[in-house]
Amino acid sequence: MADRLKLLLTSARDLARFGNMVLNKRTLAGHQILRTESITELLTPSQELNRAYGMLWVVERPATHSPTFRRRPY
């Protein structure tokens, strides 16, 4: 796992754009940026200690194990 840890330095605006790209199935302005496998890895629990967390994302509600990653949360 240690070899997979990387540092991400970004602005809030760029992180929001990245989130929109993930929501839009790896595309940004109509161009595919990420592979499907990359999105799957981001949204897969990444640690045994707390399975609610993926890489950069909360992937399920801890008590209910229901998804929190939605296209339109409200």
Determine the distance from the C-alpha atom of residue 56 to the mean position of all C-alpha atoms in its chain, rounded to a whole number.
Answer: 5
pLDDT digits (tens, 9 = 90+) for 8-30: 788 999 888 888 888 777 777 78
Q: Which two tokens stand for residue 28?
A: 């940004």
Which pLDDT does position 16 carry in this prediction? Answer: 87
Count the Cβ atoms, other than its own, within 10 Å of residue 19.
13
Where do we find the tokens 């045994």? 48
Q: Pick the more confident residue, 66 or 9.
A: 9
Distance between CA atoms of residues 28 and 22, nearest Å: 9
Query: Per residue in 37-60, pLDDT tens?
Result: 888 888 888 777 777 777 767 776
At residue 32, the 3 state secondary structure works out as: strand
Task: Report pLDDT for 54.
Answer: 78
What is the model's pLDDT at position 70?
A: 56
**Nearest to residue 4, comparing CAs of 58, 68, 56?**
56
